[in-house]
Chains A and B, each alone.
Chain A
Amino acid sequence: MSIDSVKIEQPGKKVLLTGNEAIARGAIEAGMKYATSYPGSPSAEVLDVLAKVGNPFGIYAEWSTNEKVASEAAAAASFAGIRSMTIMKPDGLNVAIDFFTSLAYSGINAGMVVVLGDDPSAHSSIKEEDSRYLAKLSRLPILEPMNIQEAKDLTIKAFELSEFIGLPVVLRGVTRICHASGLVTLGDIEKAKAPVKAELKEKFLCQPLAHPELEQKVKKAALWAENNNTIEYSGPANAESIVIATGPCALYAKEALIELGLTDEIGVLRLKMSWPLPDKTLLGYLKGTKEVIFAEETDPFIEEGITSLVAYHGSEIGPIKFFGKRNEYVKGPMGAGIGELNTDILIDTLAEIKGIKRPDYSGSTASCVEHVCGSIPLRDRAFCAGCPHRASYWAIKAALSLDGNNGFVLGDIGCYAMGRGPTGYNMLSTVHSMGSGVGLANGFGTMQRFDFKQPVIAVVGDSTFYHAVIPALINAKHNSAKFLCVILDNSTTAMTGHQPHSGSVIDARGVDAPALSIEKIISGIEIPYTIADPYDVNDTIDVILAKLPEPGPKVLILRQECVLLKSKVGKNQKMYIDQTLCLGSKCGCGDLCSRAFNCPANINAPEQGKMIDQALCVGCGVCATLCPTHAIKLVEGS
């Protein structure tokens, strides 16, 4: 599992790849030359990989400012005859949706694949959104790989389909595909070496008259699905009960059937393409079936498609009993349509439907998790030791308390969204989508006429600033919205793995690139700004207090590099605790460092008292500034 495996030129060789690497490999094998993305989990690494290994294949790869621009740039490549790919998570598709619904009408030229990394259970997202509905809305056919090999293979198929119908095609990965690893048999890379020439020869206009043609393309896609083995059946011939599954859920279903000893009774029908459906082939399988169980993540997408299909053909295929999310048979611990599926959930579902007892199986996922995790102490999500965001939130919290006018903080998307939890002192009153904090601040900031008096702070990251905040700030300036926008500038896109952004001095491929200065952009909008160091907590508090009452929009840039980047360079300072000065839990301190400020490097050891965890501490010195007795000190000369 090394990204070097992605570029190996040995067709037939088996290598271990992650799902994201497999998608990148598929794109290379398909001769894709132009890739764009805005980083988002779980699919962020696809572009990372393409940027790192793509050069010898002449691949252009960029981290775009946001998903809308990314999609537009990729579409341009397609228009000019170059296969392209754009990669995003569902939140990104939401941002780009206006373009995609228009792109459907204009159509494209060379193959264009949209990789969507859905995140069922929202492991690293603020919501679990099933992107397939918006894909369908934009008339983007959807392919869903079941395993890592297929992540590569379906990527190649997606380009073929895209060119066959003249529309972009979605490859939908979920976290368990993107982040999982598996053996992949490499394919031919010859196509990647063929030179390409970009030239715009046609017009691509979105116009209502194109609608009939678009619907024809969708029909063509369904036909493609019929003719390209997009349905795979395994199980007994003429089974009365079948599970219809997409993506990795098919594997969970097969495993569940083995565990329950039902493999001779129930078959598994897997759809590689979840929209549009190959109606004819599907009806063939459904005829004679008495029971259908749906296994897909997260929403009942194929469930709706197939039950609707059956409703039109009831008289031909006879009555079928469906078990899915609508009647709440297929459901995880949180309910139907919520969270990932897994083998355990499907064992329970199938056992209930079949009226059999769930086997007492000690090897179940749940019991394994319990066995392993039982002894692991629960740990809340937290900022890293020395994270500048912790210091920023401490300062914001202190400033708002001092100001005493019931001020509040509007959050945004990034590591700092954890400001909603204890690690950020529960400071956030709202968290929605990229840029929404500042958008909401526009609303609050213009409600003075309704006797609104609370001070408003909107926090955004640097990457978010470029992504979606600039229009909101322009709006604020023009409408004199009163709020303080605090830009937590840690010089990177930290949450998704430190990708460069428009303010970085290098681009995705590591090549020098012009860095856009946040302050110059803000000056251009004529919003007053101040730059402060969040590690200088007291100064930051003073600046916030001074800025809050000023009219109109104001910006405070709290600039301090992400500690993970810094720690790669090596830490420069060491802290220690002078036990003769430390008050510990007594009045006058009350565990400020380990409880209140709560940096993971400040520990309260039962016997030794307060200590600095030297393995974690980056020497930021914030706890030393805050310590009421100055017991936390810098190791001289460190």
Chain B
Amino acid sequence: MEITISSKRLQQEVIQTELCTSCGMCIGLCPYIKSFKEKTAFIHQCQVDDGKCYNICPRGETDWPQMDQEIFGKQRTDHVLGNYNQLLFARAKESDFSQKGQYSGLTSALVSYALSIGEIDGAVLSGGEPGKMPEPTLATTRDDVLAAAGSKYSAVPTLLSLNKAIEEGFKNLGVVGRPCQVLAARKMQLRYNNPSDLPGNKIKLIIGLFCFWALSPEFYEFLAEKTKGANIASLDITTEDLVVRTNGEELKLPVENIRRFICPTCQQCFDPTSEFADLSIGSTEFDPGWNTLIIRTDKGRELIEQSIKDGIIEVYTYPAERIPLLLQAVGNKKKRVLEEWEPTYLKLNESYHRAVERGM
């Protein structure tokens, strides 16, 4: 018999199968779903059919072509990077952002700018000290944004802050999230926006990060052990190493050492570049003073144009010789997911399968 109760479906298809990404979007939608140590838990059975929790879940059934249609009004031609407008190098110009930010601080600079011009009245971010369990936060000022800068490499349930902010009455919210979070926020935005007091209508800007995987919180215990409790100033994960900077010292550990902490759901992720965001931002894997920027929607393009005009950020042509590297990394990941996992949550059409056969 087909299960129609959303919370049961969510438990069976997503929680029990360890597909939950801990995006946080369902947390706080009702009193039954909560998060603890980056794990989503059901504390009581709900009996509602067609509930939001399943409908907004990034690992709930997702019709990929339909998402493209609803967001971009068209199907994709690029099966690796999805629908986009421009691929660029970009960086924040102000030193505060480049110092606090993971790379150039582009993301933080854009969020701070969007707040300053009133484009958004709050931004949902992932704050906390480097190397410690991060926390979902809501930023309303430049200082708040700077305090939440820097990548946290675990699955922060950031979007629970989105639900909280909506409940508190924020009307124009920005979101910075991992690709799964972008998908969840988009689902909320598209599916629950009419009448206008519904939560989807309060989501105004979605900035997505590049993300190939996030780690489980045991990673922090591992870190504390490796650094012998020293204060961690910053963390970075490059293609080869985990780089931990403590006061004065730099510790390099091969990425292999932390693979065992990778969340199982990340292996089934089909979206390393936040394909449904307004803007997607990643590293350049090359120059930490810059970021990779993908402009996807008109809204994203307008924000970038305006922030360039106001001298907040600057952009640079994406070096042609680096494009194949990016395409290869992303394409391989997507191909692997389809071939090895055939995730059941993904609903794709023929063009995707043909693309896989062609090698993406």
A587 touches B51 (CB 8 A): yes
Query: Which stretch (B38-46, B200-208, B347-355) binds chain A?
Result: B38-46
0/1 string, A33-54, CB within 8 A of B gives 1: 0000000000000000000000
B40 closest partner in A (C-beta): A404
Binds A, one of B26-34, B87-95, B269-277, B323-331: B26-34
B305 to chain A, nearest CB (A): 39
B48 touches A586 (CB 8 A): yes
Q: How large is the interface on A (under 10, 10 to 19, 20 to 34, 35 or more residues)?
A: 20 to 34
The smallest C-beta distance from A487 to any residue of chain B, in angstroms, reads 23
Bound together, the chains give a CA A398 to CA B36 distance in angstroms of: 11
| Cα of A402 to Cα of B36 in the assembled complex, Å | 5
Interface mask (A578-595 → B, CB under 8 Å = 1, otherwise 0): 000000011111111001
CA distance A431 to B112 in the complex (A): 57
Known: A397-B44, A402-B41. A589 touches B36 (CB 8 A): no
**Docked CA distance A626–B32 (Å):** 10
CB of B76 within 8 A of chain A? no
Q: List 8 A-B contacts (CB under 8 A).
A: A401-B42, A402-B41, A585-B48, A587-B6, A587-B48, A588-B30, A589-B30, A596-B44
B-contacting residues, A400-458, CB 8 Å: 401-404, 425
B36 to A545, Cβ gap below 8 A? yes
Please tell me if A332 contacts chain B, counting CB pairs below 8 Å: no
Interface positions of B (Cβ within 8 A of A) = 6, 29-32, 34-37, 39, 41-48, 50-53
With both chains docked as a complex, state the minimum distance between the C-beta of B191 and any C-beta of chain A, in angstroms: 12
B44 surroundings in chain A (CB, below 8 A): 397-398, 425, 596
Among residues of A, the one whose C-beta sits closest to the C-beta of B45 is: A596
List of A residues within 8 angstroms of B30 by Cβ: 587-590, 592, 628
Hey, which chain B residues are within 8 Å of A592, CB to CB?
A: 30-32
How many residue pairs between the two chains, A and B, have CB atoms under 8 Å in the bound complex?
Answer: 57
Contacts of A397 in B (CB 8 A): 43-44
Shortest distance from the beta carbon of A181 to any chain B beta carbon, whole Å:
44
Complex: A346 Cα to B30 Cα, angstroms: 55
Q: B34 contacts A590, CB within 8 Å?
A: no
Interface of B is mostly: loop
Closest B residue, CB atoms, query A583: B30
Task: Contacts A588-B52, A589-B30, A596-B45 known; list 9 others, CB within 8 Å.
Answer: A404-B36, A545-B36, A585-B48, A587-B6, A587-B29, A589-B31, A590-B32, A595-B47, A627-B31
Give the distance in Å from the alpha carbon of A184 to the alpha carbon of B34 in the complex: 61
Are B31 and A626 interface neighbours, CB within 8 A?
Answer: yes
Q: Assess the B41–A590 pair: CB atoms within 8 A.
A: no
Question: What are the residues of chain B within 8 A of A404 when measuring CB–CB?
Answer: 36-37, 39, 41
Are the CB atoms of A590 and B43 closer together than 8 Å? no
Within 8 A of B (CB), among A614-638: 626-628
Q: CB-CB < 8 A to B53: which residues of A?
A: 587
Chain B residues positioned under 8 Å from A588 (CB to CB): 29-30, 52
Question: What chain B residues lie within 8 Å of A585 (beta carbons)?
Answer: 48
Q: Which residues of B contact A403 (CB under 8 A)?
A: 36
A590 to B37, CA, bound (A): 26
In the bound complex, CA of A187 to CA of B41 (Å)? 66
Are the C-beta atoms of B48 and A398 separated by less than 8 Å? no
In the assembled complex, how far is the CB of residue A598 from the closest CB belonging to chain B, in whole angstroms?
10
Chain A residues positioned under 8 Å from B50 (CB to CB): 587
Query: Shortest CB–CB separation between residue A145 and chain B, in angstroms?
Result: 49
B41, B44, B51: most-surrounded residue (chain A CB, <10 A): B44
Are A398's CB and B43's CB within 8 A?
A: yes
Shortest beta-carbon distance from B116 to chain A in Å: 33
Interchain CA distance A589-B43 in the complex, whole Å: 13
| B5 nearest CB neighbor, chain A only | A590
CB B57 to nearest CB in A, in angstroms, measures: 13
Q: How far is the CB of B211 from chain A (nearest CB, A)?
A: 23
Measured in the bound complex, the distance between the Cα atoms of B37 and A588 in whole Å is 23
B107 CB, min distance to chain A CBs, angstroms: 30
B208 to chain A, nearest CB (A): 27
What residues on A are CB-neighbors of B43 within 8 Å? 397-398, 401-402
Closest Cβ–Cβ distance, residue B16 to chain A (whole Å): 12
Contacts of B51 in A (CB 8 A): 587, 590
Which A370-402 residues have a C-beta within 8 angstroms of B? 397-398, 401-402
A587 and chain B: residue at smallest CB distance = B51
Which has the most chain B C-beta neighbours within 10 Å: A398, A585, A595?
A: A398
Q: Which residues of A contact B6 (CB under 8 A)?
A: 587
Identify which of A397, A402, A589, A590 gathers the most chain B CB atoms within 10 Å of its CB: A590
**C-alpha spacing A129/B32, complex, angstroms:** 41
CB of A541 to closest CB in B, whole Å: 9
**Distance of A582 Cα from B50 Cα, bound (Å):** 19
Shortest CB-to-CB span from B114 to chain A, Å, is 29
Q: Chain B residue with minimal CB distance to A395? A: B43
User: CB-nearest residue of chain B relative to A629?
Assistant: B167
Q: Could you say which residues of chain B place their CB within 8 Å of the CB of A586?
A: 48
Nearest chain B CB to A496's CB is how many angstroms away? 31
Collect the chain A residues with CB atoms within 8 Å of residue B34's CB.
398, 401-402
